[in-house]
Amino acid sequence: MSTQPTQPTQPAPSAPSAPSASPDDDPLSRERAHLAASRAALRAMRADAESLDIRDVTANWVNAQVLERQIEERVKALADLGDTPLFFGRLDYQRAPGADRAEGAEGERFYIGRRHVHDADGDPMVIDWRAPVSQPFYRASKKDPMDIGLRRRFGYTGGDLTAYEDEHLSDPAEAASAGRLLQQEIERPRVGPMRDIVATIQPEQDEIVRSGLSGTVCVQGGPGTGKTAVGLHRVAYLLYAHRERLARTGTLVIGPNRSFLHYIEQVLPALGELAVAQATVDDLVAHVEVRGSDDARAAAVKGDARMAEVLRRALYAHVTPPTEPVVVVRGSRRWRVPAYELQEIVRELLERGIRYDAAREALPQRIAHAVLVQMERAGEAPDDRVQNAVARTGAVKAAVKEIWPAVDPARLVLRLLADPDFLATHAEGVLTDEEQKAILWARPARSVKSAPWSPADAVLIDEATDLIERTHSLGHVVLDEAQDLSPMQYRAVGRRCSTGSATVLGDLAQGTTPWATRDWREALAHLGKGDAVIEELTAGFRVPTDVIAYASRLLPHIAPGLAPVRSIRENPGFFEIRDAAGAADVVGACRELLGREGSVGLIAADARVPELARALAEAGIAHLGPGEETSRDTRLTLVPASLAKGLEYDYVVLDEPQAVVDGEPDERTGLRRLYVALTRAVSGLVVTHAAPLPPQLA
């Protein structure tokens, strides 16, 4: 790293901007000149797009509308955002990449940024970070310089280029070291929603980001190891590398709740990707209105993968083997398809493994075909119009209704949960009597509309829906906080990427549902991606060393075998445990932290939130809800522990750890909830308590 005296011409990355030398010999001035020229080139690209006249090229109105929309989007995408630097790095190749590597082949220089910018001749001024030539910016090392002579990182203050930092990767005399600019980026205060990490993606993260579209990747990583960031950047990368295919098939990011989705929603647009949908698992399966809830036992049984078998049996019990022949009358003739032949057709359809409705729709044609064969044997020459007509006769329709009736998925689930005999018949040998009892409604609902559907019921209905009609599969799905999903939820997500791939992100230690994932292989099998690659991230970008060490005391109790996160933050931050006599002391701690720069989160057991909200109001301190955007004026968020997952704040006040543990149905889940709450702070954590601390933290 050449911020050392060995490179006297270069300022330290944090050096003030004013360059003393003339623009020609001062490297910083030259870089600024390139920035100014790149911005001008971007403006020209935008002006070009705006001035496109499509009147001559579009023959009809519809085409014109489509083209106009595309141009509008391009103009929008070409905006120069003042606070987002156009480039953040530079690579000097020793030889031109891809060129003949013969002696003397000319080296080339590339500026790496969020988007591609070219000059009037079409020559690149800035290269998209996702392009293959950009890859060494993230991966090259002293050990493997990847043909890079110089890697330069730029530092910005506001929109101004104020510093840079060099690594001469091919110079054996220069020692490798972690850069100051990277460190500054990691340490910067967190105000506002989540930001992209495109300037500082680390090599092990980049490997995941750039892994191919065909494979599913599962990332296990402790709090703050960048799982969410990596998942979002992977979608952006895949959209770049497979734009057309994914535009057709679609992409989706799945997060645990609305506030989390709100927190991450600006990352992809900042990377120029506007078309990625976001949803919770509940959104995906919203076939009915959810008004009810389950106790932990019922939810665990409903979320168990064995329920898929119960549903399959219950659905296919509707298929009734035919015992009567079908008789079709055409003109003066009667054609008779005997019962044994109908049985053969039904057996064949069942064996083909197609969806219930696909088979139901095929059945009339199969019966008609059997009639046609008889007609041919009798010397007639019927064509496909005759087959269609036969398939539509009353006799065939009536037979199909008998043999393979239409089934409504919600009604099927309703009957299973309301009718003990129906459930017993189809759960025989799959669910125990006790398990059946656990999921039956105490008061059987009468209709789909009035039933007290729970979130787990909606997943069952989704499974039934898919048995009946295949769910549309997207090209790629990112599943965040995956460890909380039940096997049935994994199946629901898996159907949505059955012909595509997925990025599965999670931390076994942060699982806070009774059915939380114990083993990634098992979970991936439920997802239908048993052959996924499992990667692990262990470097922590969020939590300071002392805080992560304290939280990691819980690991042996919540996820034995998982290694603690290794914090790569240099700033030790601060960490304090304080006695608090009441809410006023907690508010005092918040007020104190608000005196510093950045966001503050007050995390408390859900049950304690109303009391703390009142205390804050009485003290005249405004606060936000989780996921709401912090601003310069309102920087405090009151976070119920149940919604803390995935979020982060510069400073955290954690109220009453034991209450957080007690807020969960069992101790292990409680300790996991506490682990999540303890690992939200970027710069400092104050734990306040009146009750004794959980002994596991001792």
Ligand X SMILES: Nc1ncnc2c1ncn2[C@@H]1O[C@H](COP(=O)(O)OP(=O)(O)OP(=O)(O)O)[C@@H](O)[C@H]1O
Q: Is 122 marked as a binding-site residue? A: no
Q: Is 223 marked as a binding-site residue? A: yes
The encoded tokens of residue 40 equal 């001008």
Q: Closest approach of Cβ 224 to ligand X, in Å? A: 4
Q: Is 280 marked as a binding-site residue? A: no
Q: Closest approach of Cβ 225 to ligand X, in Å? A: 4
Residues 511-550, interacting with ligand X (CB under 6 A): 541-542
The correct pick among 200, 216, 465, 658 for binding ligand X (CB under 6 A) is 200
Does residue 223 interact with ligand X by CB under 6 A?
A: yes
Give 606's Cβ-side CA count (13 Å radius): 8
Q: Is 222 marked as a binding-site residue? A: yes
Q: Closest approach of Cβ 110 to ligand X, in Å? A: 21
- Using CB under 6 A, which of the segments 41-49, 217-225, 460-468, 588-596 binds ligand X? 217-225
Q: Closest approach of Cβ 221 to ligand X, in Å? A: 5
Q: Residue 400: in which H helix or E strand, if any?
A: helix 394-403
**Cα separation of 459 and 464, whole Å?**
9
The correct pick among 91, 125, 126, 197 for binding ligand X (CB under 6 A) is 197
The correct pick among 84, 202, 257, 545 for binding ligand X (CB under 6 A) is 202
The correct pick among 148, 163, 201, 391 for binding ligand X (CB under 6 A) is 201
Q: Closest approach of Cβ 88 to ligand X, in Å? A: 12
Does residue 205 interact with ligand X by CB under 6 A?
A: yes
- Residues in the interface with ligand X (CB under 6 A) total 22
Phi, psi of 672 (to 5 degrees): -70, -40
Q: Closest approach of Cβ 601 to ligand X, in Å? A: 13
Using the Cα atoms of residue 535, residue 541, residue 544 and residue 545 in order, give the sign of their dihedral: positive
Q: Which residue is nearest to ligand X (CB)?
A: 226
Helices (H), ranges, 517-567: 520-527, 545-551, 555-558
Q: Closest approach of Cβ 671 to ligand X, in Å? A: 16
**Cα separation of 573 and 576, whole Å?**
10
Q: Is 225 marked as a binding-site residue? A: yes
Q: Closest approach of Cβ 509 to ligand X, in Å? A: 9
CB 150 within 8 A of CB 1: no
The correct pick among 304, 463, 648, 650 for binding ligand X (CB under 6 A) is 648
- Using CB under 6 A, which of the segments 80-88, 200-208, 364-372, 495-503 binds ligand X? 200-208
Q: What is the dihedral of CA 650, 654, 655, 658, to 10 degrees?
A: 170
% helix, strand, coil for the chain, step of 5: 45, 15, 40
Phi-psi region of 172 (alpha: psi -120 to 50; beta: other; left: phi over 0): alpha
Does residue 475 interact with ligand X by CB under 6 A?
A: no
| Burial (Cβ within 10 Å: 0-12, 13-18, ≥19) of residue 229 | buried
Three-state SS across 155-175?
A: EEECCEEEEEEEECCCCCCCC
The partner residues of 684 in beta bridges, in order of sequence, read 574, 651
Q: Is 601 marked as a binding-site residue? A: no
Q: Is 394 marked as a binding-site residue? A: no
The encoded tokens of residue 97 equal 């990449």
Q: Is 663 marked as a binding-site residue? A: no
CA 401 to chain centre: 42
Helices (H), ranges, 78-169: 135-139
The correct pick among 127, 229, 254, 653 for binding ligand X (CB under 6 A) is 229
**Cα separation of 607 and 664, whole Å?**
11
Binding mask 597-636 for ligand X (x = CB under 6 A): ----------------------------------------
The correct pick among 2, 38, 211, 228 for binding ligand X (CB under 6 A) is 228
**Cα separation of 289 and 286, whole Å?**
7
**Cα separation of 440 and 416, whole Å?**
8
Q: Closest approach of Cβ 191 to ligand X, in Å? A: 12
Closest CA to 676 of 511, 553, 556, 506: 511
The correct pick among 90, 227, 529, 635 for binding ligand X (CB under 6 A) is 227
**Cα separation of 366 and 390, whole Å?**
10
The correct pick among 19, 226, 500, 598 for binding ligand X (CB under 6 A) is 226
Closest CA to 482 of 462, 502, 453: 502
Does residue 225 interact with ligand X by CB under 6 A?
A: yes
- Using CB under 6 A, which of the segments 201-209, 352-360, 415-423, 654-662 binds ligand X? 201-209
- Using CB under 6 A, which of the segments 58-66, 144-152, 194-202, 307-315 binds ligand X? 194-202
Contact footprint for ligand X (CB under 6 A) = 185-186, 197, 200-202, 205, 221, 223-229, 507, 510, 541-542, 646, 648, 679
Q: Which residues are annotated as a binding site?
A: 221-228
Report the binding-site residues for ATP. Answer: 221-228
